[in-house]
Chain A
Amino acid sequence: MTDADADSGWFESVPPDDLEAARKAIDSGNTESPKDWPTKAVESGFAEDKNEYYDKLHEAATYTTREVVKERERADDQQLKHSIRAMDDCERVANELAERATEWAGSRFDDVDTGIAGARDLAEREPSGDLDGRVVSLSARAAALADERDALAATIDRIAPAVAPNLADMAGPELAARLIALAGGLEPLAKKPSGTVQVLGAEDALFAHLSGRAPSPKHGIIYTHEFVRGTRPEDRGSAARALAGKLALAARADHYSGEYREVLHEDLRERMATIRARAEPAGVDGDADDAPGPGGDSAATEGDDA
Chain B
Amino acid sequence: MPDSALPDGVERREFGGETRLATRGPPVYGEPTDGEWRAWDPERSKLGGMFELGFDTGLSGGETVLYLGAAAGTTVGHVADFAGPTYAVEFAPRPTRDLLDVAESRDRLFPLLKDARKPETYAHVVESDVDAIVQDVATRGQATVANRNARFLADDGRLLLAVKARSEDVTADPDDVFTDVLAELDGTYEVLESGRLDRFHEDHLGIVATPR
Interface hits, B95-112 → A, CB 8 Å: 95-97, 99-100, 103-104, 107-112
Q: With A10-B125, A31-B120 given, is the CB distance from A161 to B170 under 8 Å?
A: no
- Which B residues are CB-close (under 8 A) to A8? 124
Instruction: Determine how close the nearest CB of chain B comes to the CB of A158; give it in whole angstroms.
Output: 8
B166 within 8 Å of A (CB atoms): yes
Q: With A65-B111, A65-B113, A161-B91 given, is the CB distance from A276 to B104 under 8 Å?
A: no
CA distance A68 to B125 in the complex (A): 16
- Which A residues are CB-close (under 8 A) to B110? 57-58, 61-62
Contact for B113 among A25, A30, A55, A69, CB less than 8 A: A69
Q: With A69-B93, A69-B100, A72-B93 given, is the CB distance from A9 to B124 under 8 Å?
A: yes
B127 within 8 Å of A (CB atoms): yes
Contact for A26 among B115, B125, B127, CB less than 8 A: B125
- Which B residues are CB-close (under 8 A) to A259? 94
Q: With A30-B120, A30-B121, A35-B128 given, is the CB distance from A165 to B94 under 8 Å?
A: yes
B124–A161 touching, CB < 8 Å: no
A38 within 8 Å of B (CB atoms): yes
B126 within 8 Å of A (CB atoms): yes
Chain A, residues 14-48, CB within 8 Å of chain B (1/0): the string is 00000000000110011111111110000000000
B111–A61 touching, CB < 8 Å: yes
A258–B113 touching, CB < 8 Å: no
B107–A32 touching, CB < 8 Å: no
Instruction: Determine how close the nearest CB of chain B comes to the CB of A278; give it in whole angstroms.
Output: 11
How many residues of chain B have a CB within 8 Å of chain A? 35
A61–B108 touching, CB < 8 Å: no
Q: How many A-B residue pairs have CB under 8 A?
A: 107
Instruction: Determine how close the nearest CB of chain A comes to the CB of B84; give it in whole angstroms.
Output: 9
B20 within 8 Å of A (CB atoms): no
Q: With A69-B100, A269-B170 given, is the CB distance from A30 to B124 under 8 Å?
A: yes
Contact for B94 among A64, A66, A258, CB less than 8 A: A258
B91–A61 touching, CB < 8 Å: no
CA distance A276 to B113 in the complex (A): 36
B183 within 8 Å of A (CB atoms): no
A54 within 8 Å of B (CB atoms): yes
A38–B127 touching, CB < 8 Å: yes
B120–A162 touching, CB < 8 Å: no
Interface hits, A42-92 → B, CB 8 Å: 54-55, 57-58, 61-62, 64-66, 68-69, 72-73
Contact for B107 among A34, A55, A69, CB less than 8 A: A55
User: Whose C-beta in chain B lies nearest to the C-beta of A260?
Assistant: B94
Contact for A54 among B85, B100, B129, CB less than 8 A: B85
B189 within 8 Å of A (CB atoms): no
Known: A3-B124, A36-B129, A161-B92. 6 other contacts (CB 8 A): A32-B120, A65-B100, A69-B97, A162-B93, A260-B92, A273-B171
In order of increasing CB-CB distance, the 5 nearest A-B pairs are A31-B124, A29-B124, A34-B128, A269-B170, A61-B110
